Copies of this chain bind each other. A is one copy, B any other.
């Protein structure tokens, strides 16, 4: 696929996601809650997860555009809430995110916690619209995928391992287990939620699961490489903080060269999974795998 065509699709898709988030994240939630929620999720981030949902929905020939758009926004809401909570003083204590002061710096810790909590609930609201805008069976399936990716076995569980790993040395399998949960589960769920919007056979479903797992891990490996090699200004968040917090990363565990080779191997796994999926319209997923590994921020 030509990168130009991808970029144009990506721009249009992100505009649709941004508009939908602007509509669904309530400006009128009481006592400043809506403002904090909107600050935490609108106008920021690379929106990789929504793009994965929409590209996987397309690859799965999803007829239901409304469901795919809702799924795309719901994973971004979960991602954004996790960043808000992760940045709080009792977790990573970070003051800069997406080039702006973090939510607790701007609105206080209590409001940041509530905004995150409300955004998690909102993700499931977005997936369950009244009426028949999305088939009820699909609503249930999307909720199931999202809840499992976000919970104790997924993202929250990975964050708990992360907490416990500060100042300890992890070997590569333990580090990968942590990241498969912490970051990988939601990235993989993005792909699977997009696939659920279409009619994916068992072979394609398994291939997309492999693709999602590979790019989910690749994303984190690259994150660690960027954290070690880039300046805060480029990243839009505080660089070098993992090393400062004495957290194990792929760079500290494998070394920079091996980490880069690992990211490359995961990209190849992702591309191989797509090639074996039997899906005719997986080109955008392929570009996304490239972008995950080649990104510079």
Contact = CB atoms under 8 A, between A and B. Distances in A.
Contacts of A231: none
A16 interface: no
B29 A160 contact: yes
Contacts of A88: 113
Given A156-B118, A157-B30, A140 B136 contact: yes
A139 interface: yes
Contact of A113 (B26, B85, B146, B151): B85
Given A91-B113, A111-B163, A157-B30, A151 B122 contact: yes
- Copies of this protein in the assembly total 2
B137 A150 contact: no
Contact of A156 (B117, B152, B181): B117
B143 A121 contact: no
Contacts of A139: 136, 139-140, 143-144
A108 B164 CA distance: 12
Contacts of A123: 147
Contacts of A233: none
Contacts of A183: none
B114 A156 contact: yes
A127 interface: yes
B90 A151 contact: no
Interface string A81-121: 11001001011000000000000000011110110111011
12 contacts: A30-B181, A31-B157, A82-B117, A90-B113, A114-B163, A117-B150, A117-B156, A121-B147, A121-B150, A124-B143, A128-B147, A129-B144
Interface of A: 26, 29-34, 37, 81-82, 85, 88, 90-91, 108-111, 113-114, 116-118, 120-125, 127-130, 136-137, 139-141, 143-144, 146-148, 150-154, 156-161, 163-164, 181
Given A30-B157, A33-B156, A91-B110, 19 more contacts: A26-B153, A30-B158, A31-B163, A32-B160, A37-B152, A85-B114, A114-B160, A117-B150, A118-B151, A120-B121, A121-B147, A121-B150, A121-B151, A122-B151, A124-B146, A128-B147, A136-B140, A137-B137, A139-B143
